[in-house]
Structure 1
Amino acid sequence: MKENLINSAIDVLDANFQKGGFTIPSEGLYPFQWKWDSGFIAIGLSHYNIEKAKAEIKTLLDAQWENGFIPHIVFHNENKSYFPGADFHRSELHPLSSKKFKSTGMTQPPVTGFVLQEMYRIAEDKEDMLNFIKDNIDKVYQNHGYFYKHRDPQDEGLMYIYHNWESGTDNSPVWDDIWDTMNPPEYNFERKDTTHVDASQRPSNREYDHYLHIIEIAKEHNYDDAKIAELSPFLVQDPLFNAMLIKSNQALLELYELIGGKEAEKLNLRQWQKKSISRFNQKLFNKELGAYVHYDLRNEKAIPLVSSSSFSPLFAGIPDQERAEILLKTMLDKFGGDDKYLCASFDPTDERFDPKKYWRGPVWINMNWLLYYGLKNYGFAKAAERIKADSVELIERDGFFEYFDCRKETGESKRTGYGGNNFSWSAALLIDLLKN
């Protein structure tokens, strides 16, 4: 059964791999290259086709801007089946944007550093992979340098995101109260996602008005980071985004040690780590909730809601053992009922929870993958195995979907996953979980 599942996952990845050397997340729904998707996809590809895995990362880094920024979508073609596309985002407004590729002017969680380390872990030919890393690691380091220079206005080691899409958790209930502070115009646009997927599983048109409004403000100022920090109504320090940066900092540090030299880069990484981890623990941990939470930098207040992002610091080794045990208890108490699969993307005990709607409650395989390794890091073997088993069971029963209902019983006779089908990172990370 395990081999069959791995072979099916390989079929999904191979079907989604494009001539340009990148993998689309899902045919129809997502026809371009996404930043953090590509990272997770490269991990799966490394298990059976290392050359494709290297192409995936090289193609992504090829779209890097001159200031170190890596965009969240690279528009490799003129596909009109996605909104908002290249013509809306207009990355060329930024003077240092890529001259080679059109892209968005926003980013996504910085996973590429730890992805390079995972590729090295998986690769059979270590020397070949180390050579690949030598050729590409400085670009990833420059991406981290961009964050510390341009996304940390208070110099506290915590990066802001200026758009909910930068978080990766697009329509999470965490953002609801921020939307209440905004009153964007009603834009006239044609949604493309709802022609591929049931609208009840996607954000509403009014939510899209907020999303587009934030981009319009950024475009008005040519995607200037300082102006965005000053003017964007959405400015958040996200535990998931910052945990991915901290994990990738550590990976770069260890890879540079392996390569040798690069003393200045290693010194910077150590200093960044010290500052980021310390401030992360001081500012983002909520004792009452027993979890890390988002901080609304624009309105200077914590957002006291628990999501799967709240547990992502386990993956980056941010909490000490005592605090990790508190996180585990919160996860199991709120998310871990006998009638639930781990781990819902949002607190199932909260009234905003929705088990079908994108990041408002469904299970996502990429988050489960992070949590599996995070729980293992702290010796929580039983919980780690449960997350792995739940992930495998969901895919085995419902298919290689984008996200899944966390309820074990939904009352539906013909059960299926939600969002895009034959979804690349679900396939890629399942391969890694099963090969582990």
Structure 2
Amino acid sequence: MTSLLVGPPATAAGDPAEALGRGAARVLLTNWMGASTVPSRGLYPHQWSWDSAFIAIGLRHLSVRRAQRELETLLHAQWADGRVPHIVFNPAVPHDAYFPSPDFWRSSSAGAAAGAPAGTETSGIVQPPVHALAAWLVHLADPADSRRRGFLPRVYGRLAAWHDYLTGPRDLGGGGLAAMVHPWEPGMDNSPCWDAPLGRVEPAARGSYRRADLDHGQPSERPTDLDYGRYVRLATDYRDGGYADAGAEHAFAVEDPCVNALLIVSERALARIAAETGADPAPHERRAARLTEALVERLWSPEAGLFLSRDLVSGELIPEKSVAGLIPLIVPGLPPEIVDALVGTAEGSAFRLGEVPMVPSYDFTGTAFDPSRYWRGPAWFNTSWLVERGLRQYGRTRAADRLRAAMLAAAGESGFAEYVDPFTGHARGTRDFGWTAALTLDLLAADPGADAGVLGQRPDTTVGVNA
């Protein structure tokens, strides 16, 4: 399947799913910029790292070649040290359209020692590693075309270097897990999980930058000025330190369960990619096993009933409950008692799975809960998609089916919103959002009744294992 379709496959004429699929396809077509897809035309006018991975997962149902190009465009901006930057800037977009802009990050100069590309401006931080997972799923959408075009051989080395970076220079805690050095890196920017670590950071002076995000979003739905000032301070210090990782002092350094769960699943995908390309999958399989052990050892909290982030400055687990702590359900082979506890926590008072439309980003009972402000309560489609995949992997098909149906309903009713109110499903953030549309297509294309693993694939192709 290499041609661009007008809607998702396998929908019957007159079926409401057909209209939903056409709407999702329209978003991806509108946001396509020729070599990659912007998350939204206004608020996010460049290419974002984990957005592009999720977008490729959905785009494969419309055009496998566009999905391949989405990932290859991102990986073309990879640094020599292996990092995949969280933003690849479009030089045609004015600097004042988004902050921090290329002239803030100065990647080609400040990042020269770390191997930033000379001809492409990027940010200097990273985002969660969904990319090998996305590449494998794109390959599975049309293996014959993938092999004919040499897609996996082109991306395998870059993906392996990306994982080497995360498990090497970014193992700041020494326990085997990847650490994030800025709240933007785990992808859940203003999560209450970061409140205590950010409390150590002196914010940048308010007059030293201008928040372009408020030109496109409601202040009540965006991070506060205080938090934003701290983000700018951390990014400035990281830049001025040459984007150095190991051996540098970091005011903010955390091990996040979502990031590391995605790294594990992507490492398992990388093993499949290695085997497909003639390389040895065993090193990736061993690394995935070590990461899984480290995830449980370092971040599992029996008392909380979910995985918690670890503050590497204090050395302590952060007691805040966020959706990041449920996402390790995507990791195959977790002990049954951990799976049972995670599902119990998801269905309990903190997240109320099955009672509310989607999975909230933060604990309903937490003191910092806010139903409208970014990652402090609203429900997001990418995290709910990951939880749905995890539930299905471990045989919780009824809960997965309910969540799938709620996500599809919310996507259509919200105009493919960036995120939604966790109680009502009403739209929040920007509309016509890339990964919301893409993951809608993926849910529509999946067979929810199939005996599927973590990725919704058949047992002979899944990166995970069957429950």
Fold conserved between structures, TM > 0.5:
yes
Alignment match, 1:226: 246
The match for 1:146 among 132, 145, 165 is 165
Q: After the TM superposition, which of the residue ranges 275-284 and 106-115 deviates more from structure 2?
A: 275-284
Post-superposition CA distance 1:17-55 (Å, at most 9, x none): 002x00000011000000000001111110011111111
Deviation, 1:337, is 6.1
Q: CA RMSD in A?
A: 1.6
Distance change (3 Å), C-alpha of 1:27 and 1:206: same
Pairing 1:428–2:438 present? yes
Q: 1:224 to 1:318 in 2, by over 3 A?
A: farther
**1:272 counterpart = 2:282:** no
Task: Give the deviation of 1:140 after TM superposition.
Answer: 0.5
- Choose which of 187, 204, 207 in structure 1 pairs with 2:227: 207
1:86 and 2:102 are equivalent in the alignment:
yes
Aligned residue for 1:34? 48
CA distance in 2, matches of 1:125, 1:24: 28
Identity %: 34
Do the aligned partners of 1:119 and 1:129 also contact (CA within 8 Å) in 2? no
Write the deviation string for residues 286-333 of structure 1: whole angstroms up to 9, x where unpaired: 111110000000111000121111111111225222211110000000
Separation in 1 of the partners of 2:354 and 2:135?
Answer: 37
| Corresponding letter in the other structure for 1:202 | R
Tell me which residue corresponds to 1:238.
256
TM-score, with length taken from structure 1: 0.94
Mapped to 2, the partners of 1:318 and 1:169 lie a distance apart of 26
Q: Deviations over 1:217-271 (max 9, x none)?
A: 11221111124xx4211000000111111110000012212332x23xx343233
Rounded to whole Å, the distance in 2 between the matches of 1:308 and 1:81 is 31
Is it true that 1:295 corresponds to 2:310 in the alignment? yes
- SS at structure 2 position matched to 1:225: coil
Distance 1:338 1:40, change over 3 A: closer
Change (3 A) 1:44 1:127: closer
Per-residue deviation at 1:184?
2.7
**Preserved CA contact (<8 Å) 1:47 1:123:** no
Q: Please state if 1:376 is matched with 2:430.
A: no
CA contact (8 A) 1:120 1:129 kept: no
What pairs up with 1:66-85 in 2 under 5 angstroms? Answer: 66-77=80-91, 78-79=93-94, 80-85=96-101
What is the CA distance between 1:156 and its match in structure 2?
Answer: 2.1
Cross-structure match for 1:390: 406
Deviation string, structure 1 residues 153-201 (Cα, Å, up to 9, x no partner): 3442101100000000001011111122233342322111111111100
Secondary structure of the structure 1 residue equivalent to 2:379: coil
| Structure 1: 4+ residue segments shifted above 4 A | none
Quick one: which amino acid aligns to residue 209 of structure 1?
G
How many residues align structurally?
Answer: 424
Distance (Å, rounded) in 2 between the aligned partners of 1:184 and 1:223: 19
Name which of structure 1's ranges 184-193 and 238-247 shifts more when overlaid on structure 2. 184-193
Aligned counterpart for 2:275 among listed residues 257, 267, 273: 257
Q: Which residue of structure 1 lines up, in the alignment, with residue 236 of structure 2?
A: 216
Q: Residues 234 and 4 from structure 1, CA distance in 2 versus in 1: closer, same or farther, beyond 3 angstroms? A: same
Return the structure number with greater helix share.
Answer: 1
Cα distance change on mapping 1:431 and 1:74 into 2, 3 Å: same
* Offset, 1:433: 0.3
Choose from 154, 158, 161 the match for 2:177.
158
Would you say 1:190 and 2:207 are equivalent positions? no
Match for residue 101 of structure 1 among 120, 139, 158: 120
Tell me by how many angstroms 1:124 deviates.
6.3
Asked if 1:65 corresponds to 2:93, the answer is: no
Alignment partners' CA distance in 2, 1:132 and 1:237: 32
Q: Does 1:320 align with 2:339?
A: no
Over 3 Å counting, the alpha-carbon distance change for 1:318 and 1:209 in structure 2 is farther
Q: Contact (CA 8 Å) 1:240, 1:309: kept in 2 or not?
A: yes
2:65 paired with 1:45:
no
Deviation at 1:383, TM superposition (A): 1.1
150-159 vs 47-56, which moves further:
150-159
Matched to 1:94, the amino acid is G
Moved more, 319-328 or 105-114: 319-328
Read off the aligned partner of 2:339 and give its amino acid letter. A
d(CA) in 1 for partners of 2:154 and 2:380?
A: 32
TM-score (norm 2): 0.88
Gaps of 5+ in 1: 409-414
Contact 2:203 2:231 in 1 (8 A): no
* Separation in 2, partners of 1:304, 1:47: 39
Work out the CA distance in 2 between the residues paired with 1:191 and 1:318: 43
2:19 is aligned to 4
8 Å Cα contact 1:156/1:276 also seen in 2: no
* SS, match of residue 185 in structure 2: helix
Amino acid at match of 2:334: P
For each residue in 1:88-125, what CA deviation from the matched residue of structure 2 results, as whole angstroms up to 9, or x when unmatched? 11112122101121011100001101101111232263
Task: Describe the SS at the equivalent of 2:321.
Answer: coil
Give the aligned partner of residue 361 of structure 1: 377
